[in-house]
Amino acid sequence: MEYSLPVLPYELDALEPYISKETVEFHYGKHHKAYVENLNILIKGTGFENSSLEDIIKNASGPIFNNAAQVWNHSFYWMGLEPSTPEIPFGKLAKAIDTKWGSYEAFVADFSRVAVGTFGSGWAWLVKKADGSLEIESTSNAGTPLATGSKPLLACDVWEHAYYIDCRNARSHYLHSFWRLVNWEFVEKNFE
Ligand code: FE2
């Protein structure tokens, strides 16, 4: 089975002015694409050739895990962004965020702190734990909550390749842009 790069649910320039077309061209068109191509090469002739991405993530290690997880993480990241989107959560998710953090603003501050504070390359996640509660998690490199059993609701890629074109080294600047683009309908759907 060959994996392919998923089609973005919007145009390459749709996230402007917050995330530039050039960033998406590189991040999606080169980095994400390379993970897909590397994974296809790496699984050839192994027991993972006909496995689902989720199965590979749960059972593989080393380069196969890294590339499979990065394929999944990026596909999930792009789905969590949208150009014209309600700017705050709604429905049951909004209630759960208020219960845990007190307010949307407090949640954003906490998530941003975790994202900006993630050492080196990695990801910040809003996840639903097995007991139904919300949590913010940070993973390094290709790490993904899929491997630990939490249900991912929202991902923020904090690898430098996600923001160096638009924000140079200013990850906190990128976080400001990120919040303008979160697809809360997608997050809400994942929560339910
Ligand atoms: Fe990335």
Nearest to 146 by CA among 50, 59, 62: 59
Report the separation in Å between the CA atom of 32 and the middle of ligand 1, taken as the mean of its atom positions: 7
> Would you say residue 149 has pLDDT above 90?
no
Report the separation in Å between the CA atom of 100 and the middle of ligand 1, taken as the mean of its atom positions: 28
Query: Which tens digits make up the pLDDT trace of 12-58?
Result: 999 999 999 999 999 999 999 999 999 999 999 999 999 999 999 99
Residue 65: its pLDDT value, please?
98
- Residue 173, number of CB atoms within 10 A of its CB: 14
- Share of residues in the chain with pLDDT > 70 (%): 100
* Radius of gyration of the chain measured on its C-alpha atoms: 16
pTM metric for this prediction: 0.97
Which residues are near ligand 1, the ion (C-beta closer than 5 Å)? 157, 159, 162
Report the separation in Å between the CA atom of 9 and the middle of ligand 1, taken as the mean of its atom positions: 17
Residue 109: both structure tokens together: 């501050």
Residue 167: both structure tokens together: 């924000």
Nearest to 39 by CA among 21, 14, 57: 57
Q: Which of the 8 DSSP states describes residue 146?
A: G
Query: Which tens digits make up the pLDDT trace of 71-89?
Result: 999 999 999 999 877 778 9
Percentages of the chain per state (helix, strand, coil), in multiples of 5: 55, 10, 35
Cα 148 from Cα 127, distance rounded (Å): 11
Report the separation in Å between the CA atom of 99 and the middle of ligand 1, taken as the mean of its atom positions: 31
